[in-house]
Amino acid sequence: GKPVYTEDLAMKQALVVKILRSPHAFAKIISIDTSRAEKLEGVECILTYKDVPKERFTLAGQSYPEPSPYDRLILDEIVRYVGDEVAIIAAVDEKTALQAMKKIKVDYEVLAPVLDFEQALGHASVVHPEDDLQVNFDIGLKSEHNIAASWKEEVGDVEEEFKQCSVVVEDVYYPQAQAHAMMETYRAFTHLDHMGRLVVVSSTQIPFHIRRQLARALQLPASKIRVMKPRIGGGFGGKQTGAVEVFAAIVTLKTGKPAIIIYDRKETFSCTTSRHAMRLKVRLGADQAGIIRAIDIHVLSDTGAYGEHAATVLSCVGHYTLPLYNKTRAVRFTGHAVYTNKMPGGAFRGYGATQG
């Protein structure tokens, strides 16, 4: 048969969903006026942080209990990177939605952002000052210090082995953030079926995780949500994060009407996730025969504004790398994933192995 993608399955009368985004890296919304936008003919609904559930969740596509912190809301009073979501606009067509977006007035209290991940630890600004962050188990979260996750693993006496080595070398490496650049950008279509169940058609790698995310974020029983994944035009790990589904879903729940959201290429590059940028301090020790006997790696990972996949990508830098050196006598791997006011990091092919 003929393959179909998410947009091919969308109803023609579906509301078009667009997102008003923050122009600031770190700010608090003081006021938001949507009255002029709501009067525009063809606008169905405009949602702000006042209109969404206050249950924090993660967009990371991971099995429950997720090791990623529950640190985001659908819309928040605090915006944490340039491109963070401020308002959801739904209208009869894209032109009307974009016109409405321009009529929304937002006043911000601009805060000092954390832009350099090497300065995040102990920075005067705390990216997540709220007291309702949650984790399913200990991942080393210390949000007051901008630490989303920490990891430490050691086998053998590393320092003693270095003393026995004939050659010890040290260096620092900086793997950069990268974009997935899949052909089909992020998109989802939502509607209610004849039983009132929320149906989500999404270009995703993680349909079952999307259902769980939506159930928590929207405060619905999972049995009231069905997620369908048609053909997907590339993902490469990017679509292992639920970037768009919740925005179309909440519009459908609020209006009772089908809704579709399609990110353009700019949003795909700047408002989703990237590979985690990192700093790796590496120390290797070898004997006279050139066999590596000791390895010490310390990682600082930039998880950006939210902690999707922060703990697991960090740990995989060690788990995927150290077993390659099977003649070592001692290894140590330590690290922190830190919050900054930049687009979040997330899953990307290699998932930590590439950085390591």
102 plus 136 within the same structural domain = no
User: Is residue 218 situated within a structural domain?
Assistant: yes
Q: pLDDT, tens digit, for every residue of 115-148?
A: 999 999 999 999 999 999 999 999 999 999 999 9
Number of separate helices (H) and strands (E) present in the chain: 7, 15
CATH number of the domain bearing residue 63: 3.90.1170.50
What per-residue confidence (pLDDT) applies to 3?
Answer: 84
Distance CA 227, CA 205 (A): 11
pTM: 0.97
Q: Classify residue 140 by its DSSP letter.
A: -
**What's the mean pLDDT when you consider all of the chain?**
97
Interhelix angle for 207-218 vs 245-255, to 10°? 50
**Residue 350 backbone phi and psi in degrees, to 5:** 105, -35
Q: Is 101 helix (H, G, I), strand (E, B) or coil?
A: helix
* Residues 122 and 101 grouped into a single domain: no
In a domain, 106, yes or no: yes
Mean pLDDT of 262-277: 98
Q: What is the mean pLDDT of residues 83-100?
A: 98
State yes or no: pLDDT of 1 exceeds 80: no
Nearest to 261 by CA among 273, 241, 272, 246: 246
Same domain, 64 and 79: yes
Q: Mean of the pLDDT values across residues 10-32?
A: 98
Residues 78 and 29 in one domain: yes
Same-domain check for residues 25 and 98: yes
Does residue 310 sit in helix, strand or coil? helix
Q: Which residues have C-beta within 8 Å of that of residue 289, sequence separation ≥ 6?
A: none
Count other Cβ atoms within 10 Å, centred on residue 105.
Answer: 12
Mean pLDDT computed over 302-314:
98
Beta bridge partners of 15: 259
Mean pLDDT of 248-257: 98
CB 206 within 8 A of CB 262: no
Position 42 in a domain: yes
Q: How many domains does the chain have?
A: 2
What is the pLDDT at residue 298?
98
Same domain, 240 and 185: yes
pLDDT in tens, 37-80: 999 999 999 999 999 999 999 999 999 999 999 999 999 999 99
Across the range 320-324, mean pLDDT stands at 94
Domain of 96 in residue numbering reads as 6-112+181-267
Does residue 354 sit within a domain?
no
- Is residue 25 in some structural domain? yes
pLDDT digits (tens, 9 = 90+) for 147-162: 999 999 999 999 999 9
Cα(125)–Cα(111) distance, integer angstroms: 8
What confidence score (pLDDT) does residue 254 get? Answer: 98
Smallest CA-to-CA distance from 334 within 135, 149, 60 is with 149
C-alpha distances in Å from residue 172, one per residue of 47, 61, 197, 282, 356: 45, 31, 52, 6, 12
* Residues constituting the chain: 356
Q: Does 201 reside within a domain?
A: yes
- Mean pLDDT value across residues 189-218: 98
pLDDT above 70 coverage of the chain, percent: 100
pLDDT at 171 over 80: yes
What SS3 class is residue 283? strand
Residue 345 domain-assigned?
no
